[in-house]
Structure 1
Amino acid sequence: MKTTTKIFTVTAIAFATFLNVNAKAQTMNMSNGMAFKIGVGVSGGVTTEKSPFSYALGADVRLQYDLSKSVALTASGGYTRLFPKDNFPALADYDFIPAKGGVKVFPIERMYLMAEVGAGFAIQDGSKTSFIFGGGTGYEWNNGFELGIRYEGYQQDGTSTTYQPVNGQFALRLGYNF
């Protein structure tokens, strides 16, 4: 629990620090309309029905490179913890560092559809790296705030000490883009 508290404290401090930075200094608009953004976010989710976990909490940093007004590439990393259901007392929390890449498509101004794939680097001894896949939708406001929902699935190696055949979460993400 101390690790989670430390990570969320560091994330909160980073978030507050970034809020004090002028957002215009963080966005590089080029003559062809391309832009680079960085964002921070926190998320909470509920797991899929068959999962032995009940809910998830996480924090992330996301880089976004706008190729045009309607398409952007993303890269993100952070920390996620899945908490076991009460009827799985022997199962420990599953902590991992997700590293994902993806694409955002804006079919309507500021509303997006997103797809991501990547890896979840497990923290526990004996745990193996998970394949992460998912997608979602969200909205970016002009003031930098972002609200998104997503499904994120985890495919693990069967030899992992934290192996569960069915893992995934439906998550809500609150973020701020600079």
Structure 2
Amino acid sequence: MKTITKIFATSFAALALFTTTNLKAQTTETMTTTSTMMDSGMGFKVGVGINGGLFRDKSPMDYSYGADLKLQWDLTKDVAVTASGGYTKLMSRNNTVDPDFIAAKGGVKVFAIKRMYLATEAGAGFGIQDGAKTNFIYSGGFGYEWNNGLDIGVRYEGYVNDSASTTYFRQTGQYALRIGYNFKL
């Protein structure tokens, strides 16, 4: 019995020693991983921005303006997933149809060179006027995000409209500039 008791006590002491050492290593690793995540820029950001755009000469639209709210989840220091919503007003060349809509888009940002990014988004523009149908919106562009939160981007944004809409215009697109500010959460 004494031998079994000694083996049991030694095993228990060894298990306790390995467990506490292992827990300490896991705690240190977790803290290192967390600080690495913070240093790499991982986390959530909320951005507010204003934008304006110009259309090509052959487009029935002349210019646009709007504002948006953008959520950004940094998966790594190089890749982020985005979701945005906002108001956009399109102004026609001949003042016949001036559609405005609430846009809801999702996308991806890839930080190719430090703070410079390439971005793509797709989503829907929900018409505000009576009889207006939903537009399909797609965009692609690039920009720069400063450490202080300032975000400036340029994009091409295309619109595909439903022909049954009271605010119908043929498929067109704009070259837009967005100036925003990101708040880290």
TM-score, normalised via structure 1 length: 0.79
SS in 2 for 1:97: strand
The answer to whether 1:76 aligns with 2:84 is yes
In the TM superposition, what are the counterparts of 1:17-96 in structure 2 within 5 Å? Answer: 31=34, 33=37, 34-85=42-93, 88-89=94-95, 91-96=96-101
Partners of 2:118 and 2:125 lie apart in 1 by 22
1:160: how far off?
0.8
Partners of 2:53 and 2:139 lie apart in 1 by 13
Partners of 2:120 and 2:56 lie apart in 1 by 19
Partners of 2:168 and 2:108 lie apart in 1 by 28
The answer to whether 1:157 aligns with 2:165 is no
Greater helix content:
2
Quote the residue 1:108 is aligned against.
Answer: 113
**5+ long unaligned stretches in structure 1:** 1-29
- Structure 1 counterpart of 2:83, which letter? A
1:161: how far off?
1.2
Quote the residue 1:139 is aligned against.
Answer: 144
Structure (1 or 2) with the larger CA radius of gyration:
2
- Structure 1 counterpart of 2:148, which letter? N
The answer to whether 1:125 aligns with 2:121 is no
The answer to whether 1:169 aligns with 2:174 is yes
SS in 2 for 1:92: coil
SS in 2 for 1:149: strand
**5+ long unaligned stretches in structure 2:** 1-32
Q: Work out whether residues 134 and 151 of structure 1, in 8 Å CA contact, stay in contact via their aligned partners in 2.
A: yes
1:53: how far off?
1.1
- How big is each residue's C-alpha offset from its partner over 1:36-93, in whole Å with a ceiling of 9 and x where there is no partner? 00000000100133221100001000000000000000000000000111xx24x131
1:108: how far off?
0.5
TM-score, normalised via structure 2 length: 0.76
